[in-house]
Amino acid sequence: MEKVARTNATVLLLGESGTGKEVAARTIHALELQSKLLRVLQERRFERVGGTRTMEADVRWIAATNRDLERMLAEGRFREDLFHRLAVFPVRMPPLRDRRRDIMPLAETLLALTRRAAGGGSLDDVERDAIARTLAEVGGNRRQAAERLGIGLRTLYEKLKRYGLS
């Protein structure tokens, strides 16, 4: 990934839902936008809506989707030329279930963002919900829940007691 970050190459992120791709990339699938996007990608020029002057675009495109673009190409639902312009440097994102060591850093980041957004208060609710959801997913097996959450069994027991989930 570091090599990609140092380039100005167009990047196409591919992977299942929840692998970290941005939701905004969905607009690429609106077939009437594809030719306009292709022009900006190819020529790095565009006209504003209602404008008469051509503008230069000094941008780096990073697109993301959970759709099977190869299948959409075969079905004629995605432009081949646009696909090849986007996929200059394709990066396949493995699902989070295959990147277990990323779960805790992601959870910590999300919790920190939640805390910041709520002024430091909706954190306990988020943690309690995550623990309850994980316990439900593993059929109440506390050892498995602790492993999935990336915490020790003793820590899980303390949190269960704290949140009244025991």
Per-residue pLDDT of the chain (166 residues; tens, 9 = 90+): 445 555 667 777 777 777 666 543 444 344 756 777 788 888 888 888 788 899 998 878 888 888 899 999 999 989 999 899 889 888 888 888 898 898 888 888 888 877 777 665 576 778 888 999 999 999 999 999 999 998 999 999 999 998 888 7
pTM of model > 0.75:
no
Q: Are 94 and 87 in contact (CB under 8 A)?
A: no
Q: Which residues contact 91 (CB under 8 A, 6 or more apart)?
A: 1, 4, 11, 12, 13, 14
> Where in the chain do CATH 3.40.50.300 domains reside?
2-95
Q: Would you call 163 helix, strand, or coil by DSSP?
A: coil
Query: Measured between alpha carbons, how far is 162 from 29 in angstroms, rounded to an integer?
Result: 46
User: Which architecture characterizes domain 100-162 according to CATH?
Assistant: Orthogonal Bundle (1.10)
Domain with CATH 1.10.10.60 in the chain: 100-162
pLDDT tens digits, residue range 116-134?
A: 776 655 767 788 889 999 9
SS3 103: helix
Neighbours of 69 (CB within 10 A): 21
pLDDT digits (tens, 9 = 90+) for 12-39: 777 777 766 654 344 434 475 677 778 8
Burial string for 20-56 (b: 16+ CB within 10 Å, else e) reads ebeeebeebeeeeebeebbbebeeeebeeeeeeeeee
Fold annotation for 2-95: Rossmann fold (3.40.50)
